[in-house]
Chains A and B, each alone.
Chain A
Amino acid sequence: MLEAIGVDSVDALFEQIPEPLRLGRPLALPDGLSEAEVYERLSVLAERNADAEDQVCFVGAGMYDHYVPAIVDAITSRSEFLTPYTPYQPEISQGGLQVMFEFQTAMSELTGLPVSNAGLYEGPSSVASAGYLAMAATKRKRFVVSRGVHPHSRETLRTYSVGYGAEVVEVGLEGGLTDAAALADAVDGETAAVFLQSPNFLGAVEDVEALGAAAKEHGALLIVACDPMTLGILKPPGECGADIALGEGQPLGNRLDFGGPSFGFFCATEAQIRRMPGRIAGETEDVDGRRGFVLALQTREQHIRREKATNNICTAQALNALGAMVHLAWLGRQGFRELGELLVQRTAYARERLAAVDGVELLHEAPVAREFAVRLEAPVEKVLDRVAERGIAAGYPLAREYPEFEDGLLVAITERRTKAQIDELAQALEAAINAERGSFRTDDVQKEPQVGGAA
């Protein structure tokens, strides 16, 4: 090979790098390992995590421990889906392109909006991309965002907004739901978009249609984040006046993976189709009249439009979207609805069961679908530690992002959380809260026995 190139050594090819810029030493990384050794090394690391097989997982907050059917793994691990690049050559990418088309059809059907893209990175950055779209659509630079929108989404929107120069205004919650009066006050003729989430971060199902009226009145876009697993039961955003419906796709066919990779879905009205971010597959024909699929509307995209592109994204999370499509096909029309009902029923049971525990009360009484918030009469982090000892991850402590709910705990239900596990959670919480209430006295006694006093 060197002879064909006309050099004596591979080093000669690296001579185009100026000498002072050559590293001139080996990388300070360990030597390579055999496959068995790498497996061992990573297994040891994996063992040091408490995953949903070690702990019964009631944690949600945007990502959920759903059962991913075996068929999803079987299909997504096929080389033909796993190893190609983006379908730039449609003649040899019909499989992937058709999957995108099917996925778009499914997401469009779920959200009740006519146009879907083929997927974005994940949930919160999709929210930020919707903001960018809204600015282009309205030529305005102000966002009104409910505090019920996932804190990560709000924070990501703020990060992006510093770049594209938009202002973000937050509207608070009242009884677990977006404060309708405050929202109406916050929206004005300068507002590019109103952002809602339903169910919101506290699990409450919002009346999107009623809240969205303020956006309609002032010509702002209504952008609604939603949990796809609830869309068999809840009225789809498209029927509530949403211009854009989007969200985190993980509950559909994607494992937890400590947060990624997953995908974001993004659906919109026809009016926004040429402003959409991301890949979109479209149906067409080949020269012989055969049905086929291609990347449509590429003139929106960075590889064609460069600085005038509607977004800089050039991935569709295609493999993750495939997992979602297979999961949806597996659930099917009936199964998807049944799963939604199962979540609502078990969530209602769990909420009632926990509320009956001494030391636990509901944080809000708004309707919920698959997640709900409670208040604990003992320090949340300590209670979580105690419950963890019984092999349960009890939920998501709201204090991390909502200082106003310092005593709040968000509890999520999936079809994997059985009645027995819910009952066990209730008992564990009760015991932990009791122990925490008692521990104050016990600690006092242990620390200062000479005083001898119990409070």
Chain B
Amino acid sequence: MIFVTVGMHTKGFDRLLKKMDEIAAASGEEVVMQIGHTSFRPQSAKWFDFTTDAGIKEWCKKVRVVVTQPAMSILDAQEQGTPVIVVPRLKQYDEVIDDHQLDFARELEKEGKVIAVYDVEKLEEALKKVDLRLPELARDRKLVNALKKYIAQFERK
């Protein structure tokens, strides 16, 4: 089973959802989508627009792979230990205001934290290969500790 999530973004992500719906039809694998503000309505995949935090986590846990935009949803999948394929939203398709998701996907891919797919035509192939286990991802303690340090400083003043 595959979970596709496009988050809270105010723009739709038709390109990804259409392709994943095609893949659902062709492969027969169960695909569940959180479509957010996308206007396209999947035919072969199950879908809903939004759900709760717990709902997203549950779907991330149930599936063999999460397909999403490179954004905070990566953390939901990572918490459940599920591999992630990211597809950046692109400015040229009016999916986002600039191409920051493209930069971000490239960096995460370099660090081996996600599988990045830039052309949706390559999704099917990427989905077949996901069984390779991704390295275990751990939350960076540094940022949490830095915040604690600043909070303590402000308290003393």
Do A and B bind?
A: no
